[in-house]
Amino acid sequence: DTGVSQDPRHKITKRGQNVTFRCDPISEHNRLYWYRQTLGQGPEFLTYFQNEAQLEKSRLLSDRFSAERPKGSFSTLEIQRTEQGDSAMYLCASSIYGTGGDRYTFGSGTRLTVV
Amino acid sequence: EDQVTQSPEALRLQEGESSSLNCSYTVSGLRGLFWYRQDPGKGPEFLFTLYSAGEEKEKERLKATLTKKESFLHITAPKPEDSATYLCAVQGSNAGNMLTFGGGTRLMVKP
């Protein structure tokens, strides 16, 4: 296993378009998280899955954002009708149940630029 | 609501010049305080977890300590390869499994 993989690494899109990002976690990790990070800031929690169940969503997550984790494996994060304020690095992390944040392994992120 | 504040925002050191980074936090029932290192264009990389006041962890030139209100990351005799952004995060008992991160300290070590 080579760690958490995210695709694409970079995405430039026009305002109003829909975008989808993919995250492949470490295979034995049953927890998967999405965070957003803007320049000069720390990561901000978006949502969390345990296996295929989405257990937590940030209050900051607008209706334009949706995430799925079919069959408890890879996950996708979709942003509909993108806005310039959505420009950020989208980070995925995975962990093993019972070990909490100290086993978070982050991917390298998808950098989204909305023009 | 859990909150984390890191200071300074940026720190420039000469190689070999030891210093400390600060992480102040407020949390409802601390489950863990975490330090991560982040290099440009990459995701955060786990360094330490601290669970209770008085606890200390060490790794090479880094040492993390924890009190009831803050944590310090001490860097002893830093090298240029220690240049990175250091992030502090907390997990509170009311926060489920999410981490609340501070804004980070951007460390630059000059040879």
**Nearest-CA distance A81 → chain B (Å):** 26
B91 vs A42, A100, A106: nearest CB: A100
Residue type, B77: A
Per residue in A89-103, pLDDT (tens digit) is 999 999 876 655 567
In eight-state DSSP terms, residue A64 is T
pLDDT for residue A98: 65
Q: List per-block mean pLDDT (blocks of 10 residues) for chain B, which spans 111 residues.
A: 95 98 94 94 94 95 97 98 97 84 98 96
Exposed e or buried b for every residue in A44-71, given b needs 16+ CB within 10 A?
A: bbbbbbbeeeeebebeebeeebebebee
Chain A contact set for B32 (CB, 8 A): 100-102
Q: A26-64: per-residue pLDDT in tens?
A: 988 889 999 999 999 999 999 999 999 999 899 878 899
Q: What residues of chain B lie within 8 A of the CB of A108, using their CB?
A: 41-43
A98 part of contact set with chain B, CB < 8 Å: no
Closest CA to A42 of B70, B98, B20: B98
Query: At A1, is the pLDDT very low, low, confident or very high (cuts 50, 70, 90)?
Result: low
CA distance A39 to A56: 25
Do A110 and A10 meet the contact criterion of CB atoms below 8 Å apart?
yes
Q: Is residue A8 within 8 angstroms of chain B, CB to CB? A: no
